[in-house]
């Protein structure tokens, strides 16, 4: 396929925010693609070169791209000027390419016959080369592949290629829209859940696209979890009391301590172990001790297991709060951190062992397999668990969990259908935290989408942030509050470093907002926020029109807890449907309108 066809499709996608329209545009593209190329086309249409769990190295510095855009020193200077004005490197490339070259006489048929002839395959191999040279080699070597491609590209192609190598695609074709488009192109609406399941157990949209294009739904139904491909994690619903949890679970359930650490999914191979975070980052180098213990203590040849890594006090053995384990996420000084901050992994699930996909087996079978599969030790242990049959038993267990410095408890269904539902939040797992007793609502993990300049003591800094939740229904972000409290001086000073990498001149295409901040950010950074309550709001866009015409849901009196959720991607923040559930859970009459 020619890259120009992809660029035209991306251009049409950019012009709409309607998910149905986007789906049809993408489905048309997927249908016309050669099945052997579809994988690359899917990655490229999301601005990627690999599936999400590969460390993405693409993200060339602005300066290098500007150098590649200009064919002469004068053009480079012009590109730099435009860049300062426009802030979108793709549009800069497009404009520079559109400018008539002075002194050239355009002769129909004779000018640049190679324009628009670049293929998707050529773009991919250039991007691989750019990745290979990232971080090493001279500047000219790094941007050479880009220069070569740009020479043969139309202005429109240049727009998307430059944005892509800059790591800022801007087109809002989310995973869910791509899955819809695959169903439309190669199957039916009814097949959509099975296609999504294939994605949830492989985390690789390109692979799913290629599988369905080549082998149809039979091949999709055959997709299984495998060591090396992270699986989307199963998530828990919440309920406001232990009583309701036990009732909802049918009077009987397993209940585990809810540890306050980092969730890790371990892929144990015959000789190697890879550890992934819930946002699919490779954490192996952060927990070399845990990786080693898992391999040496595992009785299976291969396995995929999950657990929570928690820091423990080296002297007392007590569990330490979450902040301590985050030291392990730093890139440097891992050896010191391993020595100073011992970590223990509390294992709670097993998804696979020696050729057997366990995700469709009930909870108690999986728990037994996990228990039998490892020789427990200081650094790897099972989560504390018991089966409860009454509210009293549940309460007592919860009190023990809090006394042991846990966040609360996780109740888990033990019914025959208690499968591991990859990528899904449901009532098979229900969380109950000690925070629930202290305020009306749980904490929220919200994505930063904008900032307001500060005044008074905060002059010259960002004073408040516009926060959004993720709407899984349409793959978009909707605002829920303006956050201005809970920031200490260090956080206020560090905000530009934390946020400015995602700065955009305009409202990002995937954000729905009526409140207009001074600056916009692509949703990327997630902050934990606590609040007093959820109310109807005329200005916020979450669940707009659902509870009252012209009103959305807003979070009242939000306060930053100090915790940056860098273990979560923006799409993993609190969803609009969770906020709606919390709103409905509030027992009092919430008729007040918040800002
Ligand atoms: P939350 O992040 O509040 O939605 O809570 C879900 C998280 O709790 C999971 O993603 C795990 O990281 C963590 N967790 C701690 N203990 C457990 C447990 N026993 N079972 C499952 N998840 C747990």
pLDDT digits (tens, 9 = 90+) for 567-577: 888 999 999 99
85 is catalytic: no
The residue to mutate among 233, 254, 263, having the most atoms of ligand 1 within 8 angstroms of its beta carbon, is: 263
**Contact 280/50 with Cβ under 8 angstroms?**
no
DSSP H helices, 341-466, are: 363-373, 391-403, 435-438
Bridge partners of 410?
Answer: 256, 431
Cα 286-59-201 angle, rounded to 5 deg: 55
Three-class DSSP category at 472: coil
Q: Given the CA of residue 385, which atom of ligand 1 is nearest to it?
A: 19
pLDDT given for residue 87 in this prediction: 82
- Euclidean distance between CA atoms 327 and 322, whole angstroms: 10
**Contact 412/250 with Cβ under 8 angstroms?**
no
- Euclidean distance between CA atoms 12 and 7, whole angstroms: 9
How confident is the chain (595 residues) per 10-residue block, as mean pLDDT?
A: 96 88 96 96 93 81 91 90 89 87 45 79 93 73 88 94 87 86 97 96 97 98 95 91 93 96 96 92 93 97 97 85 79 78 95 96 98 95 97 95 92 97 93 71 88 89 96 91 94 93 88 95 94 88 90 91 90 92 63 32
DSSP 2-18: BHHHHHHHHHHHHT---
Three-class DSSP category at 556: strand
Q: Which residue in the list 39, 97, 142, 258 is annotated as catalytic?
A: 258
- Euclidean distance between CA atoms 273 and 411, whole angstroms: 29
Q: Given the CA of residue 233, which atom of ligand 1 is nearest to it?
A: 10
Residue 258 Cβ < 6 Å to ligand 1: yes
| C-alpha 256 – ligand 1 centre gap (Å) | 10
**Contact 299/376 with Cβ under 8 angstroms?**
no
Which domains does the chain carry?
47-166 (1.10.3260.10), 235-438 (3.30.470.30), 444-585 (2.40.50.140)
Q: Given the CA of residue 442, which atom of ligand 1 is nearest to it?
A: 3
pLDDT given for residue 223 in this prediction: 95
**Contact 231/238 with Cβ under 8 angstroms?**
no
| C-alpha 344 – ligand 1 centre gap (Å) | 15
Three-class DSSP category at 180: helix
Residue 348 Cβ < 6 Å to ligand 1: yes
**Contact 39/56 with Cβ under 8 angstroms?**
no
Residue 256 Cβ < 6 Å to ligand 1: yes
| C-alpha 575 – ligand 1 centre gap (Å) | 16
pLDDT given for residue 11 in this prediction: 94
Percent of residues in the chain assigned helix, strand, coil, to nearest 5: 40, 25, 35
pLDDT given for residue 107 in this prediction: 42
- Euclidean distance between CA atoms 255 and 398, whole angstroms: 9
Distance, C-alpha 567 to centroid of its chain = 9
pLDDT given for residue 594 in this prediction: 32
Residue 308 Cβ < 6 Å to ligand 1: yes
* pLDDT tens figures, 446-471: 999 999 999 888 888 999 999 999 99
pLDDT given for residue 137 in this prediction: 67
pLDDT given for residue 586 in this prediction: 67
pLDDT given for residue 113 in this prediction: 58
**Contact 307/384 with Cβ under 8 angstroms?**
no
pLDDT given for residue 420 in this prediction: 97
**Contact 260/310 with Cβ under 8 angstroms?**
yes
| C-alpha 235 – ligand 1 centre gap (Å) | 8
| C-alpha 487 – ligand 1 centre gap (Å) | 26
Tally DSSP H helices, then E strands, for the chain.
21, 21
Backbone Cα Rg of the chain: 25
Residue 487 Cβ < 6 Å to ligand 1: no
* pLDDT tens figures, 83-139: 888 888 999 999 998 876 554 444 444 446 578 899 999 999 999 988 888 766 667
pTM over 0.85: no
**Contact 115/150 with Cβ under 8 angstroms?**
no
């Amino acid at each position: 396929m020619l890259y120009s066809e992809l660029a035209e499709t991306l251009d049409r996608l950019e012009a709409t925010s309607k998910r149905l329209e986007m789906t049809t545009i993408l489905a048309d593209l997927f249908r016309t693609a050669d099945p052997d190329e579809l994988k690359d086309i899917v990655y490229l249409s999301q601005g990627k070169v690999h599936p999400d769990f590969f460390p993405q190295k693409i993200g060339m510095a602005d300066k290098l791209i500007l150098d590649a855009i200009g064919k002469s020193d004068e053009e480079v200077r012009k590109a730099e000027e435009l860049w300062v004005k426009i802030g979108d490197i793709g549009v800069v490339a497009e404009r520079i390419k559109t400018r008539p070259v002075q002194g050239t006489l355009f002769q129909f048929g004779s000018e640049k016959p190679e324009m628009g002839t670049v293929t998707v395959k050529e773009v991919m191999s250039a991007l691989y080369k750019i990745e290979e040279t990232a971080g090493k080699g001279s500047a000219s070597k790094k941007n050479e592949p880009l220069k070569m491609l740009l020479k043969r590209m139309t202005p429109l192609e240049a727009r998307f290629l430059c944005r892509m190598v800059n790591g800022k695609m801007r087109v809002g074709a989310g995973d869910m829209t791509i899955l819809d488009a695959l169903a439309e192109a190669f199957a039916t609406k009814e097949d959509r859940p099975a296609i999504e399941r294939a994605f949830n157990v492989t985390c690789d949209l390109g692979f799913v696209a290629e599988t369905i294009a080549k082998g149809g739904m039979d091949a999709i139904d055959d997709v299984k979890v495998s060591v090396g491909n992270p699986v989307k994690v199963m998530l828990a619903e919440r309920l406001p009391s232990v009583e309701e949890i036990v009732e909802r679970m049918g009077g009987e359930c397993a209940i585990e301590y809810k540890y306050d650490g980092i969730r890790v999914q371990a892929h144990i191979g015959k000789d190697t172990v890879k550890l992934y975070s819930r946002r699919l980052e490779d954490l192996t180098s952060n927990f070399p001790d845990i990786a080693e213990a898992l391999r040496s203590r595992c009785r299976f040849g291969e396995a995929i297991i999950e657990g929570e890594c928690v820091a423990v006090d080296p002297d007392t053995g007590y569990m330490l709060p979450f902040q301590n384990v985050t030291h392990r996420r730093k890139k440097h000084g891992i050896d010191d951190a391993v020595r100073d901050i011992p970590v223990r992994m509390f294992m709670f699930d097993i998804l696979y062992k020696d050729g057997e996909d366990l995700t469709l087996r009930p909870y108690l079978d999986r728990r037994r397999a996990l228990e039998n599969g490892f020789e427990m030790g200081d650094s790897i242990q099972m989560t504390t668990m018991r089966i409860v049959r009454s509210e009293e038993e549940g309460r007592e267990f919860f009190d023990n969990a809090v006394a042991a410095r846990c966040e609360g408890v996780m109740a888990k269904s033990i019914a025959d259908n208690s499968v591991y539902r990859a990528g899904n939040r449901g009532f098979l797992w229900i969380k109950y935290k000690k925070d629930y007793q202290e305020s009306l609502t749980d904490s929220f993990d919200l994505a930063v989408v904008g900032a307001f300049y500060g005044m008074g003591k905060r002059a010259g800094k960002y004073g408040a942030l516009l926060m959004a939740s993720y709407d899984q229904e349409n793959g978009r972000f909707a605002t829920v509050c303006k956050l201005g409290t809970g920031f200490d001086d260090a956080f206020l000073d560090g905000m530009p470093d934390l946020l400015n990498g995602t700065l955009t001149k305009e409202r990002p295409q995937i954000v729905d907002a009526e409140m207009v901040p001074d600056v916009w950010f692509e949703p990327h950074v997630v902050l934990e926020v606590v609040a007093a309550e959820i109310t109807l709001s005329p200005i916020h866009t979450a669940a707009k029109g659902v509870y009252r015409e012209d009103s959305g849901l807003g979070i009242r009196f939000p306060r930053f807890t100090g915790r940056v959720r860098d273990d979560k991607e923006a799409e993993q923040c609190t969803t609009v449907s969770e906020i709606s559930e919390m709103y409905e859970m509030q027992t009092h009459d919430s008729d007040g309108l918040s800002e």
